[in-house]
Amino acid sequence: MALRFEVLGRFNHARAAQLTLPHFVCQTPLFMPVGTQGTIKGLTTSQLEEIGCQIILGNTYHLALRPTSELIDELGGLHKFMNWPRALLTDSGGFQMVSLLHLADITEKGVTFQSPVDGKPMLLTPEQSIQIQNRIGADIIMALDDVVKTTITGPRIEEAMYRTLRWIDRCIAAHKRPHEQNLFGIVQGGLDPVLRDICLKGLVERNLPGYAIGGLAGGEDKDSFWRVVAQCTAALPEDKPRYVMGVGYPLDIVVCSALGADMYDCVYPTRTARFGAALVPEGVLKLKHQAMSSDVRPIDPTCECMVCKNYTRAYIHCLVTKDAMGSQLLSFHNLHYMMKLSRHLHSSIVEGRFPEFVCDFLQKMFPKGDVPEWVCNAMEVAGIDISSCCAPFFSSQDKMKEEVFPINVTA
């Protein structure tokens, strides 16, 4: 085990912790931006530090193709290769294969797929995934799991869950750098509480440095989503980090943190930037919208990032989707927003004002008090009283605000 996880504060299930990794001391809850190919959307590593990124995610599948894990290893590991002094996490590569390649086939040996380079059949075994990740050298590496779509039902879910458990032992056995890299196991089992429970027990028995909740954020309904998270966080050990894979939207992160999760990753903030959307406390601001062309306010008047300090919505409007600089600046702001959200989650838990933070967050995002039902249900289980922001109120002022501020709340 190459990490230390110290809980600094709690509010019911929610916790704020200090996660000490080989390359960085992180504060949780935390959001990890996705740097698929060893870089994030035109931002330099100094900018990512300035934004406050603590852990960056690299995609094993992509890195293994180019520049290859052998080359990264030869040049001293991914940290050195991309000159990132803080923490890194790599996924197993399995998810990318299943989601990007139509011809991936999973057997007991591993994931068989057609090479995108020469079309030949290739096999990624749990051992190879770990070997590749050992070469890349991230602080946290992920076990190869049997990934199935969340919307699938039936015996395939059960098969995948048991296979994931069998593969974890092969991953543990193959892991050559346990004192420098932390292997996280992934809880599978679809939306079935019984299967999730078997998987949870099996993984906890292995006493891994950390645990991920997998198989979510794939189009399942929100009520099922939070119930799986709640079940997993309740059963996972208190003294280990919990990572919800592929999540997500700011609202999802707040809910999952209330339920006791610590880590998140998602391409959303940078992907949505490319399409001209900015994350703001009210939801999403679409900079492509014609109304933005004469709006001389910053993207978010409450944001203190380099972009909001210097630029008007009007100027960003004339850059987005036409000039590279548009997505660079929006990615900067969006990642800054996610990091600020992480910091606020952490500090509000430590300072014992987590419910106030949650209410404030929900009030800004749902000024009419129309907080989605799944959020209310999850918060009830989390023991956070949000009644003050669910009370429906409607004023003419809000209506006006909506007209000049075309937002699209992602919920």
Partner 1 sequence: MKFAVKKALSNGRARTGVLQVGGSSCPHPIETPALLLTTRKGLPLFISPDLLPSLPFPDSHLLQFSPLHFLDGISIKTISNIGGVHQMVGLREHIFAAVPRDSIVSLPEYDSTNRIGASFETPCGRRLIKPAEYMEMISSMKPDISVSLADEVPSWVSSKRNKASVDRTLRWLDDCISLNVTGRTLFGSIVGGSSEDQRRHCSEEVSRRNVSGFWIGGFGLGESMDERSALLTAITDVLPEDKPRQISGLELPEEVLQGVAAGIDLFDSTYIYHLTLGGFALIFSHEENKRKVSSYELSDIGNDDTKINLRATIYRKDASPIVDGCKCYTCQNHTKAYINHLFNVHEMLAQTLLEIHNTHHYLGFFRSIREAIKDGKFEQFRKSFVGSRRAAAAASLGAMSCIRI
Applying CB under 8 A, does 130 fall inside the site for partner 1? Answer: no
47's contact among partner 1, Zn ion, none, with CB below 5 to 8 A by partner kind, is: partner 1
**Those residues with Cβ within 8 angstroms of residue 140's Cβ, 6 or more apart along the chain or in another chain:** 3, 21, 55, 87, 88, 89, 90, 181, 182, 184, 209, 210
Instruction: Please pick, from the candidates 6, 49, 74, 380, the single residue that binds partner 1 as defined by CB under 8 A.
Output: 74
Residue 92 to residue 262: CA distance in whole angstroms: 20
CB of 75 to partner 1, least distance (A): 6
Contacts to partner 1 from residues 284-303, by CB under 8 A: 293-294, 296
- The single residue of 139, 146, 262, 265 carrying the catalytic annotation is 265
Cis peptide bond prior to 248, omega within 30° of 0 = yes
Residue 301 to residue 401: CA distance in whole angstroms: 14
Applying CB under 8 A, does 44 fall inside the site for partner 1? Answer: yes
- The secondary element (H helix, E strand) that includes residue 5 is strand 4-11
**Where does this chain touch Zn ion (CB under 5 A) — which range of 69-77, 204-212, 328-336, 378-386?**
328-336
CB of 91 to partner 1, least distance (A): 17
CB atoms within 10 A of CB 118: 7
84's contact among Zn ion, partner 1, none, with CB below 5 to 8 A by partner kind, is: none
**Helices vs. strands in the chain: H and E counts, helices first:** 18, 16
Applying CB under 8 A, does 66 fall inside the site for partner 1? Answer: yes
> Is the CB of residue 33 less than 8 Å from the CB of residue 51?
no
**Where does this chain touch partner 1 (CB under 8 A) — which range of 40-48, 110-118, 210-218, 261-269?**
40-48
Applying CB under 5 A, does 43 fall inside the site for Zn ion? Answer: no
Applying CB under 8 A, does 52 fall inside the site for partner 1? Answer: no
Instruction: Please pick, from the candidates 8, 75, 173, 194, the single residue that binds partner 1 as defined by CB under 8 A.
Output: 75
> Is the CB of residue 272 less than 8 Å from the CB of residue 334?
yes
- Tell me how far CA of residue 215 lies from CA of 80, 102, 107, 164, 323, in angstroms: 32, 18, 18, 12, 36
Nearer to partner 1, 44 or 207 (CB): 44
- Tell me how far CA of residue 250 lies from CA of 30, 331, 338, in angstroms: 11, 15, 7
Contact pattern from residue 265 through residue 304 relative to Zn ion, giving x for each residue in contact according to CB under 5 A and a dash for the rest: --------------------------------------x-
45's contact among partner 1, Zn ion, none, with CB below 5 to 8 A by partner kind, is: partner 1
**Closest by alpha carbon to 32, among 9, 11, 59, 6?**
59
Beta strand pairing status for 277-280 and 283-286? antiparallel
Active site residue 146: no
Contact pattern from residue 308 through residue 347 relative to partner 1, giving x for each residue in contact according to CB under 8 A and a dash for the rest: -xxxx-xx-xxx--xxxx-xxx--x---------------
CB of 364 to partner 1, least distance (A): 26
> Is the CB of residue 296 less than 8 Å from the CB of residue 317?
no
Token pair for 6: 């110290």
Residues found near partner 1 in the complex (CB under 8 A): 37-47, 50, 62, 66-67, 71, 74-76, 81-83, 293-294, 296, 306, 309-312, 314-315, 317-319, 322-325, 327-329, 332
Residues found near Zn ion in the complex (CB under 5 A): 303, 305, 307-308, 333
